[in-house]
Structure 1
Amino acid sequence: MTETHIEGPLYAPRMKVYPQAVHGRFRRIKWTLLAITLSIYYLLPFVRWDRGPGLPNQAVLVDLPHRRFYFFFIELWPQEVYYFTGLLILAALVLFLMNALAGRIWCGYLCPQTVWTDLFYAIERWVEGDRRERIRSDKQGLSFTRLRQLVTKHTLWLLIAWWTGGAWVLYFSDAPTLVKDLLTFQAPMVAYIWIGILTATTYTFAGHAREQICIYMCPWPRIQAALTDEWALNVTYRVDRGEPRMSVKKAEQLRQHDQAAGDCIDCHQCINVCPTGVDIREGIQLGCIQCGLCIDACDAVMRQVDRPTGLIAYDTDINAGRRLAGKPPLYRPIRARTLLYGGLIALVGAIMIYALATR
């Protein structure tokens, strides 16, 4: 029996990711959704809703002492836990439908980890500069300027993480009253404990773990891979158009002689802007959260070199084969899978609405 020797480490060391700022349609969509979701999370506890005398007037409130959950005009009791079960089923079905239509768009646009990490990255760029400046600062070592940048960045991160934890506990008590009690150190100790826990987790996950949460800790990428099919749209590098890669000058020379030349100029902009450091040209990968930032970066480069945009786009592998065969692209957003999910969402939603209306 021969012995097998494994050379090198079993796990590759982590390479720090320095995402570059990018502008474009998908970046604007992400900024818009970030502003909407964070505004809802931070401000919703302060929205008032008049329920009459003797009842809390906070629109959304988990009233643990009285065992009630208030959501605007809806009031739920502990024995009505089936409504929460219905909401969880609806959430799962909506997630499945999103996956069937366009892959991991939840991960790329709406996942809390993505939203807060985007915000932390924005602060990092504002304090330390863009990709090149951050790489250069890390290589140069510690100086007074670098120390000032690090203190400023981590202070802002901690403030956001603290307010994130603080906003969470506001859903469990009257928000204005609890804010006053927190500031005067008269709030219950459990409130301070939970704020501390959520501050630490937000600071760690969004500021330090970042893409490691998406790649290693989150189970959804693995579940999603088992649920997707060949018709789901995914951020795709169109190999049929991009290969073979070469410089702009060489590609122009080959095209003048009617020889094959790909549109990809190997500029690495798609990699530089990726928040998880993925090279989308290697195909669909576990680390790709389908955020579309590489599309914005690639489209900008294509416009600069006077080539058509869409070298990277939301597409299917089926269409790559169809284009190589000279056939037009084919999209099927409405198919058995999406109709099934949509029908189940409508059914569960109708049952819940009927149950609420006839309580």
Structure 2
Amino acid sequence: MAITIEIDHARTRRAAQGQSQSPARGQAPVRKPARSPCQLGGPVVPQGVKGPIRRLKWLILMLTLSVYYVTPFIRWNRGPNAPGQAVLLDFAHGKLYLGPAEIWPQDLYLITAAMLLATLILVLVNALAGRLWCGFACPQTVWTDLFLLVERLVEGDRRQRLKNIGAPLTTKRVAQIATKHALWMMIALLTGGTLIFYFTDAPELVRDVIHGEMSPTALTWTLVFAGTTYGLAGFAREQVCTFMCPWPRLQGAIWDAEAFTVNYRDYRGEVRMSAKKAAEARSQGLPAGDCVDCGACVAVCPI
């Protein structure tokens, strides 16, 4: 029922926004919600935020990145003639090593069971506490946050980055663009190279890279994964969540009236206006909603 109400409300608002009728006499003017940059055809430029939730998100980002980059270098003694890497997907011998576990192709049911368990946990977490996975731990979120941090440090805050869009190129602007993309490429190459470490002995591959003896296969896949990271986190960003990821399509089926969602609820009322104008409208017996239509929710959201 809650989902139906939200959908109907969204449709009603879209229909109302498409009408250009002037308000009736004695009625407060209806302000159209500010359109986001993506609705205007431009890029999404989120504003940096501060606070305990943002600090928690930075901690989770550092934790997830540390797990990703460090795990291939964790060693595990399996005896002679056995790989010493704790986590290793050995395609040559058809084995998956996870610490003390050695999984063969015929043990695929174990992987299937683990994936089903992970899916169940994800569904339960989403139903109880909202979009924790999407907002904190999804790889697309983590690397997009990292790329946005670089962009913010190099080009400035949201206001400055919006000014840069369509502005004429200057020496300073060219230097900023070159620096940003150079840092993005470094992160992407590091990400792609680390992913290759999960398929071969990580310290040995590092030595090959240092001595310029990296195999063409490893180099090719490193560049492929680096290019994917560079494109998805640097440019696609919210498009991945909107069009490519299947998880948002499933969330509507597991939400209920008690689920945590980021929405403006119907019962908070319309019309949206400043707090002062809303107080005046209510004193005159006119409708007024709680939302002040400041657009901050759109400005800070990277999606």
Q: TM class by shorter-chain length? A: 0.7 to 0.9
1:234 aligns with 2:257: no
Distance 1:76 1:155, change over 3 A: same
* Aligned positions, number: 265
TM-score calculated relative to the size of structure 2:
0.80
TM-score calculated relative to the size of structure 1:
0.68
How far the C-alpha of 1:83 sits from its partner, in A, is: 1.1
Counterpart of 2:82 in structure 1 is: 55
Q: Distance in 1 between matches of 2:128 and 2:61?
A: 21
Counterpart of 1:170 in structure 2 is: 197
1:272 aligns with 2:294: no
Q: Distance in 2 between matches of 1:47 and 1:242?
A: 55
SS at match of 1:172: coil
For structure 2, the residue ranges without an aligned partner over 5 or more in a row are 1-38
Q: Distance in 1 between matches of 2:289 and 2:257?
A: 25
SS at match of 1:70: strand
Q: Distance in 2 between matches of 1:200 and 1:89?
A: 30
SS at match of 1:49: coil
1:43 aligns with 2:60: no
How far the C-alpha of 1:251 sits from its partner, in A, is: 4.8
Q: Relative contact order: is structure 1 or structure 2 higher (C-alpha 8 Å, sep ≥ 6)?
A: 2
Q: Distance in 2 between matches of 1:109 and 1:30?
A: 6
Q: Distance in 2 between matches of 1:126 and 1:257?
A: 48
How far the C-alpha of 1:36 sits from its partner, in A, is: 0.8
Task: Give runs of aligned pairs for residues 81-230 of structure 1, distance below 5 A.
Answer: 81-230=108-257
Output one character per residue of 1:161-214: Cα deviation in whole Å (capped at 9) or x when no partner.
101100001011111111111232212211111101001110000000111111
Counterpart of 1:29 in structure 2 is: 56
**Structure 1 residue ranges, 4+ long, deviating more than 4 angstroms after superposition:** 241-244, 251-263
Q: Quick check: 121-130 or 252-261, which moved more?
A: 252-261
| Aligned residue identity for 1:273 | V
Distance 1:228 1:240, change over 3 A: closer
Q: Distance in 2 between matches of 1:224 and 1:240?
A: 23
| Aligned residue identity for 1:155 | A
SS at match of 1:28: helix
How far the C-alpha of 1:224 sits from its partner, in A, is: 2.1
| Identical amino acids, percent of aligned pairs | 51
Q: Distance in 1 between matches of 2:219 and 2:98?
A: 25
| Aligned residue identity for 1:95 | L
Q: Distance in 1 between matches of 2:285 and 2:52?
A: 34
Distance 1:238 1:229, change over 3 A: closer
Output one character per residue of 1:318-359: Cα deviation in whole Å (capped at 9) or x when no partner.
xxxxxxxxxxxxxxxxxxxxxxxxxxxxxxxxxxxxxxxxxx
